[in-house]
Amino acid sequence: MATALVLTSVAANPEMEHCETIIQKVPMSPESYIKHPLQNKWALWFFKNDKSKTWQANLRLISKFDTVEDFWALYNHVQLSSNLMSGCDYSLFKDGIEPMWEDGQNRRGGRWLITLSKQQRRADLDRFWLETLLCLVGEAFGDHSEDVCGAVINVRAKGDKIAIWTTDYENQDAITHIGRVYKERLGVPPKVIIGYQSHADTATKSSSSTKNKFVA
Ligand code: MGP
């Protein structure tokens, strides 16, 4: 059993001036020293736009975690998204999946995309991203959480974006469930429509808008 050393000062003899310190070994409950495991191990990535490098070379792994405590330690350690320079991204992906279209788990996938107005950077960006992270690490989509690969936040002067990436754009049940729950968790009003687009369409788009495969 785990024990803690507890120092207690006691008057060895009330008549005498000095105190004596005794060391006691007391049992500790596992709750107080075992970190709370998450269902998955996650990796946080950072992207900084350096035009002299390729897109992939600008992507850096920050750290991995698989407990609630280590999630908060990392979250509290990194800059809020609203403080990042335009052109930067954070990505949180399941361990083993790289935050790029090319990864085998993303190749046939797509994303639920939240596009924010410039005004929303102040009002919504940081809380939307934190809620997105909590949806991921808390496995908010029930069995359909298995379809989730990760999430990305793009800080951009033209308007920030947040997205949840899923593994297969043909898994309609999983995608529609994830979209419905995600929209609710962010508190997006019902009249505001969010779209799901395949990475294949995003990667080959010729105009600035990619067609939606699903909406919520
Ligand atoms: P972006 O960073 O996702 O969005 O993609 P941004 O900056 O808002 O630009 P927009 O085109 O959506 O308006 C910017 C560019 O980064 C893409 O056009 C690609 O060249 C590159 N890029 C982005 N992603 C997510 C990938 C990826 O997964 N793989 C590769 N190879 N390039 C990517």
Q: What is the pLDDT of residue 24?
A: 81
> How high is the pLDDT of residue 190?
95
The percentage of the chain sitting over the pLDDT mark of 90, rounded to a whole number, equals: 82
Q: For residue 25, what is the enclosing H or E element?
A: strand 20-27
Question: In which band, very low, low, confident or very high, does the pLDDT at 29 lie, cut at 50, 70 and 90?
Answer: confident
Q: Is the pLDDT of residue 172 over 80?
A: yes
Ligand 1 pocket residue status of 46, Cβ below 6 Å? no
Q: What is the pTM of this model?
A: 0.90
Does ligand 1 come within 6 angstroms of the Cβ of 200? no
Candidate from 46, 47, 49, 55 with most ligand 1 atoms within 8 A of CB, to mutate: 55
